[in-house]
Structure 1
Amino acid sequence: MQFTKAHATGNDFVLLADPAGQMDLDAGFIAASCDRHLGVGADGLIRAVPSHWMAKGRRLLAEHELVSTDEAPVWFMDYYNGDGSVAEMCGNGVRAFVHFLAAEGLAELAEGEELPIMTRAGLRAVRRVPEGYAVGMGVWSFIDPQMAAEQASDSLVKASSQHEPRPALSISMGNPHTVVALPDEASLEQLNLTEAPTVEPLPPHGTNVEFVVPGSPLVQHGVGQVRMRVHERGSGETLSCGTGACAAAAATRVWVADDAVDTWKVAVPGGEVTVSFAAREDGAEEVTLAGPATIVFTGELVP
């Protein structure tokens, strides 16, 4: 089984091409492949499969009136966390996925062009840009709209290194995130994220937890700036999280009541990504995530 190892701002993945939709991947094999001591080592595994071989993919094709064939596939990003659990979406993973498709000759994408990618969170359009790839991430929303509207907080979060829980805001990017604001860089650096933070109440399907610190200044030349560390469900602390960066920027805009700032630079341990917001007529906001993707090496997995 041929594989490729790739990363996007340090969020790393094992990628497999399955153009005939024949791979049978179980959670044990995925977890073993992602194990950093006994396997390849990765935050997650992504299978590239034509959408017409996936039940969810076929529904999305019909919904968006797209046609996928073996000769001209619309690719589905079949994504799993490092522990083998199924995940809805990964913003960094989409960039690594499209970079992999292009490197393998499975898709062509010139600068400025877009490629439709199906995910469990829906259709995502990926555009080639000078800094790498820009992904249309869809609309962000509150997981608990009533609580968020009342107090811009819906839960309490505590990392094992913290003495007291801190208020947090839960954001959906097609997958769940809970964002916690910290007062300074030292607080961010001192976090112990080797264990999953406790979240009360916990969203129904679990959550990724982002700890953020505002830049100094918060806004420079019309662009917002934040730093972030993240604990991803099913993976632990990772060097980056694309959907988490979007959630962190969205939560910060809510807290500072400054939705006039539409572009945000989010610094993560693995680099930097750009998050942009665009208002729709119905008042919702579309989110775009842009950043690089890099192939590290290729090899062969033995099931």
Structure 2
Amino acid sequence: MEALRFSKMHGLGNDFVVVDATRQAFAPSTEQLAWLCDRHFGVGADQVLVVDPPAGDEDFGYRIYNADGSRSGQCGNGARCLGLFIHGQGLSDKDRLSVRTSDTRMHIARCDDADYEVELAPPVLEPAALPSRLDAAPAAEHELEVPGFGLLRVGLVQLGNPHAVLLVDDVDTTPVAELGAALQALPLFPASVNVGFLQMQGRGEGRLRVYERGAGETLACGSGACAAAVSAVLRGLADEAVTLELRGGSLHIAWSGSLSSPQSPVRMRGPATHVYDGCLQWPNR
């Protein structure tokens, strides 16, 4: 593979290597992706984001790779950075862009110089669609037996990525890594699951930590914040608009759906930051 041109970006500290594959070929191996994301020997990132030519009537394709080289179907913080990257690279001057991932389609809108709004597809609440082996109808909560932690009540939301949301009293004292790993290891989730730990602080705001598939805990997870907001609404703990404070900053989420009518899209607004542009040679290994 020839020298790679890229940008380093972040959304609330959730950081990315962003690559334009409309102007250069980019077909990395799992080892190359892991090296890119390595914070000691590579660039360092939670995920690698790739802008692809459109495959249909969308403006661009959108590939997402986790730090371990696995594919992801959604990244909300990444989508905001993708919008800033597309505009900054002069790939489009449209204020509202449509992009398609491997699993879903979304819209990215430029709000101002600092913020972007991402409109995600409506959440899917059937446990089987997560995917999950849980034989149950859509519900605000499901009871799961988690080894070492007992019976837990979780909200299950598919938003291009699978999410399990737990309500906690204090996100600072919750064993996020241990409990997140235990939930991800359940045979119920054949493709693993992102685990959100939500502490509500009133109907319009809350705090959130997310333990992600293939990355561990990150400073922010956009799709995880959207899933947490949807779960809070379904549990009767929030109205349509929720501001969630993550470790890297705040996101504003809006969803007007319900358990019986979940078809409304989820809207997320927050900042995107360009850090630097670079060009690298792949290591000889």
With normalisation by structure 2, the TM-score equals: 0.86
* Amino acid of the structure 2 residue aligned with 1:171: V
Alpha-carbon shift at residue 299 of structure 1 (Å): 1.3
Alpha-carbon shift at residue 225 of structure 1 (Å): 0.9
* Amino acid of the structure 2 residue aligned with 1:209: V
Correspondence 1:294 to 2:280: no
Q: Once superposed, what is the RMSD of the aligned Cα atoms? A: 2.5
Alpha-carbon shift at residue 285 of structure 1 (Å): 2.4
Distance 2:110 2:45 in 1: 24
From 31, 38, 42, give the equivalent of 2:41.
Answer: 38
Question: 1:102 is matched with which residue?
Answer: 87
The answer on whether the counterparts of 1:31 and 1:82 sit within 8 Å (CA) in structure 2 is yes
Alpha-carbon shift at residue 33 of structure 1 (Å): 0.3
The answer on whether the counterparts of 2:140 and 2:231 sit within 8 Å (CA) in structure 1 is no
Correspondence 1:27 to 2:13: no
The answer on whether the counterparts of 1:14 and 1:45 sit within 8 Å (CA) in structure 2 is yes
Distance 1:35 1:151 in 2: 38
The answer on whether the counterparts of 2:80 and 2:272 sit within 8 Å (CA) in structure 1 is yes
Q: After the TM superposition, list the runs of 4 or more consecutive aligned residues in structure 1 that deviate by more than 6 angstroms.
A: none
The answer on whether the counterparts of 2:140 and 2:155 sit within 8 Å (CA) in structure 1 is no
Correspondence 1:264 to 2:267: no
Residues 234 and 150 (structure 1 numbering): CA distance in 2 closer, same or farther, change over 3 Å? closer
Alpha-carbon shift at residue 284 of structure 1 (Å): 2.1
For this pair of structures, how many residues does the alignment match?
269
Q: Which runs of 5+ in 1 are unaligned?
A: 52-57, 68-73
Distance 1:177 1:209 in 2: 6
* Amino acid of the structure 2 residue aligned with 1:273: L
Question: 2:10 is matched with which residue?
Answer: 7
* Amino acid of the structure 2 residue aligned with 1:26: S
Residues 164 and 5 (structure 1 numbering): CA distance in 2 closer, same or farther, change over 3 Å? same
Alpha-carbon shift at residue 21 of structure 1 (Å): 6.0
Question: 2:255 is matched with which residue?
Answer: 277
Question: 2:124 is matched with which residue?
Answer: 141
Q: How does 1:195-234 map to 2 (within 5 A)?
A: 196-199=180-183, 200-215=186-201, 218-219=202-203, 224-234=204-214
* Amino acid of the structure 2 residue aligned with 1:237: E
| Secondary structure of the structure 2 residue equivalent to 1:231 | strand
Distance 2:106 2:172 in 1: 36
* Amino acid of the structure 2 residue aligned with 1:203: F
The answer on whether the counterparts of 1:143 and 1:176 sit within 8 Å (CA) in structure 2 is no
Deviates more, 1:281-290 or 1:1-10: 281-290
| Secondary structure of the structure 1 residue equivalent to 2:50 | strand
Alpha-carbon shift at residue 40 of structure 1 (Å): 0.7
* Amino acid of the structure 2 residue aligned with 1:240: A
Residues 15 and 173 (structure 1 numbering): CA distance in 2 closer, same or farther, change over 3 Å? same
Alpha-carbon shift at residue 50 of structure 1 (Å): 0.6
Q: Which runs of 5+ in 2 are unaligned?
A: 129-134
Q: Percent identity?
A: 30
Residues 257 and 195 (structure 1 numbering): CA distance in 2 closer, same or farther, change over 3 Å? closer
Distance 2:89 2:189 in 1: 38
The answer on whether the counterparts of 2:240 and 2:256 sit within 8 Å (CA) in structure 1 is yes
Question: 1:132 is matched with which residue?
Answer: 115
Distance 2:181 2:126 in 1: 18
Correspondence 1:177 to 2:163: yes
Residues 120 and 150 (structure 1 numbering): CA distance in 2 closer, same or farther, change over 3 Å? closer
Alpha-carbon shift at residue 228 of structure 1 (Å): 0.7
